[in-house]
Amino acid sequence: MNDAAQRARLIILALGGVVAAWLLLLNFGALGAVAWRAEGLTALRSAEWAAVRFTLTQALWSAGLSVLLAIPIARALARRQFTGRAWLITLMGAPFILPTLVAVLGLLAVFGRAGLVNDGLAALGFARFNIFGLHGVVLAHVFYNLPLATRILLQGWAAIPAERFRLAASLGFGPRESFRQLEGPMLRDLAPGAFLVIFLICLTSFSVALTMGGGPRATTVELAIYQAFRFDFDMGRAAALALLQFGICALAGLLAWRVSLPSSLGGGMDRPVQRFDTNSRALRLWDGALIVTGGLFLLVPLAMVALRGLPHVAGLPPEVWQAALRSLGVALGATLVTLAMTLALAHAVLALGGKRGALLEWLGLAALAASPLVIGTGLFLIIRPLANPRDFALFVTMLVNAGMALPFALRLILPALREIQSTQGRLADSLGLHGLARLRILTLPRLRRPLGFAAGLTAALSMGDLGVIMLFAEREGATLPMQLYRLMTSYRLDDAAGAALVLLGVSLALFWICDRWGRGNAGA
């Protein structure tokens, strides 16, 4: 058959193929370039193995703690109604889109040597503790990922039909029976996926390790690649490390194939589930304490950034504002590229269906395990014989950011698109709604919410990313996070505090605007 439906299908498959080819090039081509240009791998020394061990250890701790702590907090949020609940849940989305350096500055203000906690301990006569090293890295990762895990699990709670809790109440279930029969099975479904996502995110930790790690004993592989590349320009070692990092990530990526990843990262948790078994005073107090503690853990560091930064924003040097503009451009570019790639890929996954569709989906999600530094190093080596890589710093950053955000966007958009196709696909097919008209009239309006959320996520992630740019950029042409890092390392702490607040403000504003847009369509 050669009609509009068939044409639309071919176009979808072609576009999906282009995205798939680009992802393959990014994931494998860059690695190949590193291996090839390195002209022989340098044998790995014990320092490199230490980096591998540290990478795995911190990722296990970070993911484990995040998920374990998220379970009681998500449960408390799921069954309590209080003023500011919606606001707190929105805030839970914040750390994930928070620029790493801002989070680090906030955490240092609370847990650092001269932070609130240490000041308190000193006042009580205890010794001050040192935050840098494994526990600092894990703390920062938990700060980041605890809210993510909470949101994932909260969705699981929201997905348990209210009728089932009503049935449970009619059968006289207490909180324990409800947990065993209703909540436990949900957690068994969702928790492994949440753990794995966070584990994968932490495997490629670069900027947290850069700022919170403590010397050679707390160096991730990703950070070691940067050091080999930037300080020693030892391509052989960078290549060996890149292969190692790739191996770790590929292994974890294969795991992700086995475990079902959380199908969605947001939305649908606005209303609490009405419960009949959890109204005892003790449980209410316990939940309240959890919610307050969790809220403080998130809020205080952010408040510290705001408090310390506010007086210094007005006096920021012009480089900071120029860097902010540059970052804004990168973020908007990355957002457009990500959304376009995601839509093409998601349509192609559904058009292919079956095993081939699943393979394509996995390719899109595999970028979750991809290492930005490996990709960056590879692209640097590919560009170098042709042009000055420094000239492409922002462009490459934009493309790598887009690739990094793709798995999250795909996770948000693919299930929504699948839902649209399964509920309204036949109707659209029967009416001859194909191609661009279908995109305009059916798909985009129905996808508006996840699209807005994905756009906000991508824009904020890209805005705050400190990674590939560190390989490429020189003094000029820095992004805002890079400028902030320079201010931090040169101990211009007032300017750093001001710049951090600007970065925080722009990132949150980008997310907020996109997400707001997505929620705009009330009737849908």
Q: Which residues sit at the interface with another protein, rule CB under 8 A?
A: 1, 3-6, 423-424, 426-427, 429-434, 437-438, 441-442, 445-446, 521, 523-524
Least distance from C-beta 419 to another protein, angstroms? 11
Least distance from C-beta 421 to another protein, angstroms? 11
What the block records as the tokens of 94 is 């914040």
What the block records as the tokens of 419 is 């839902």
Least distance from C-beta 131 to another protein, angstroms? 50
Cα gap 232→226, rounded to integer Å: 9
Least distance from C-beta 435 to another protein, angstroms? 9
| CA end-to-end distance (rounded Å), the chain | 34
> DSSP labels for 108-122?
HHHHSTTSHHHHHHH
Around Cβ 122, how many Cβ atoms within 10 Å? 12
Q: Which is nearer to another protein, 411 or 438 (CB)?
A: 438
Q: Which is nearer to another protein, 9 or 85 (CB)?
A: 9
Q: Which is nearer to another protein, 431 or 493 (CB)?
A: 431
Least distance from C-beta 434 to another protein, angstroms? 7
SS3 helix, strand, coil % of the chain, rounded to 5? 80, 0, 20
Q: 3-state SS of 328-395?
A: HHHHHHHHHHHHHHHHHHHHHHHHHCHHHHHHHHHHHHHHHHCCHHHHHHHHHHHHCCCCCHHHHHHH
The answer to whether 265 and 151 are in contact (CB under 8 A) is yes
Q: Which is nearer to another protein, 319 or 419 (CB)?
A: 419
Q: Which is nearer to another protein, 162 or 444 (CB)?
A: 444
Q: 3-state SS of 191-233?
A: HHHHHHHHHHHHHCCCHHHHHHCCHHHHCCHHHHHHHHHHCCC
The answer to whether 79 and 287 are in contact (CB under 8 A) is yes
Least distance from C-beta 7 to another protein, angstroms? 10
Radius of gyration for the chain, computed over Cα atoms and rounded to the nearest angstrom: 23
Least distance from C-beta 425 to another protein, angstroms? 9
Q: Which is nearer to another protein, 41 or 343 (CB)?
A: 343
Q: 3-state SS of 287-309?
A: HHHHHHHHHHHHHHHHHHHHHHH
Least distance from C-beta 429 to another protein, angstroms? 4
Least distance from C-beta 271 to another protein, angstroms? 17
Least distance from C-beta 422 to another protein, angstroms? 9
Closest Cα to residue 193, out of 7, 415, 38?
A: 415
* Half-sphere exposure at residue 425, Cβ-oriented, CA atoms within 13 angstroms: 11
Distances (CA, A) of 31 to 203, 382, 500: 17, 10, 33
Least distance from C-beta 37 to another protein, angstroms? 50
Cα gap 61→338, rounded to integer Å: 30
What the block records as the tokens of 140 is 């920062």
Q: Which is nearer to another protein, 141 or 434 (CB)?
A: 434
The answer to whether 252 and 76 are in contact (CB under 8 A) is no
